[in-house]
């Protein structure tokens, strides 16, 4: 049975400071206060969180990999718990720069310039919890993710085409989009309490597009183009849908 390496052996520079939080503070020469960055009691060399001065940002989570020398970060907003940024790097100094930028309230694009390993998910910050803006942010994230995905060619192209065709349709763009197992679905409320509405759309590896009443199964039909599938989905939407509301 394989065993994980000793964290102190993988991260001797962190171990020299006793905790990841202390090591991060040292990297930014004390410009993160003790209350701003803390380590977990159970794995102080491997995990830390960094609070932000902005109330609409949850603490940045920093995790060291247990099997090789590398760090991951994830920065979310607290209402929906969706990622605004993430990223991986083997450079502790870069992690520290990202942590300080998150703490100081730097704009997301500026964080990417400060620490190039930072990956922007496409979501933008909605400090006033406007549900329509949250839906717009989610659509932007879906479109970015579809453009960045690395799955096999035909399926990737079909999925991108489906996302773009759905976004181009005003009736669907007005809803909150979400995916599950790469199926595109819609809600009349934001996270954390989604309210499914309308059909489920899927893209197939053979280049066809499915529309279903339930989850994934294309029981309403398969189509040669994304536009045809989206048109049927729009026709199957209930009438009288009001504006998107906050979920939860």
Q: What is the pLDDT of residues 22-79, one digit of tens each?
A: 999 999 987 888 889 999 999 999 999 999 999 999 999 999 999 999 999 999 999 9
Closest CA to 56 of 117, 5, 147, 123: 123
Inter-residue contact 63 to 71 (CB < 8 Å): yes
Which pLDDT score, from 0 to 100, does residue 87 have?
98
**Domain definitions of the chain by residue range:** 7-120, 131-235
Model confidence, pTM: 0.92
Residues 6 or more apart in contact with residue 226 via CB below 8 angstroms: 158, 161, 162, 164, 165, 166, 203, 209
DSSP string, 129-190: --HHHHHHHHHHHHHHHHHH--S-HHHHHHHHHHHHHHHHSHHHHTSEEEEETTEEEEESB-
Residues 6 or more apart in contact with residue 167 via CB below 8 angstroms: 139, 142, 143, 173
Ranges of residues in the chain whose predicted pLDDT is under 50: none
């Amino acid at each position: 049975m394989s065993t994980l390496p000793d964290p102190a052996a993988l991260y001797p520079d962190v171990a020299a400071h006793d905790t990841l939080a202390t090591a991060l503070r040292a990297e930014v020469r004390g410009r993160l206060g003790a209350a701003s960055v803390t380590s977990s009691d159970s794995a102080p060399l491997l995990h830390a969180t960094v609070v932000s001065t902005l109330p609409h940002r949850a603490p940045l989570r920093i995790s060291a990999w247990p099997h090789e020398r590398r760090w991951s970060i994830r920065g979310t907003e607290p209402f929906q718990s969706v990622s605004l940024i993430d990223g991986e790097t083997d450079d502790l100094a870069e992690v520290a720069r990202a942590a300080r930028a998150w703490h100081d309230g730097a704009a997301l694009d500026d964080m990417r310039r400060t620490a190039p390993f930072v990956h922007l998910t496409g979501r933008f910050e909605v400090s006033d919890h406007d549900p329509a803006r949250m839906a717009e942010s989610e659509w932007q994230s879906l479109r970015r993710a579809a453009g960045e995905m690395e799955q096999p060619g035909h399926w990737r192209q079909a999925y991108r085409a489906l996302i773009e065709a759905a976004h181009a349709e005003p009736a669907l763009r007005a809803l909150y989009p979400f995916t599950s197992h790469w199926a595109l679905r819609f809600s009349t409320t934001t996270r954390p309490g989604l309210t499914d509405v309308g059909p489920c759309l899927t893209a197939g590896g053979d280049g066809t597009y499915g529309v279903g009443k339930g989850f994934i199964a294309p029981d309403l039909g398969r189509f040669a183009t994304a536009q045809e599938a989206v048109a049927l989905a729009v026709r199957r939407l209930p009438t009288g849908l009001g504006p998107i509301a906050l979920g939860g």
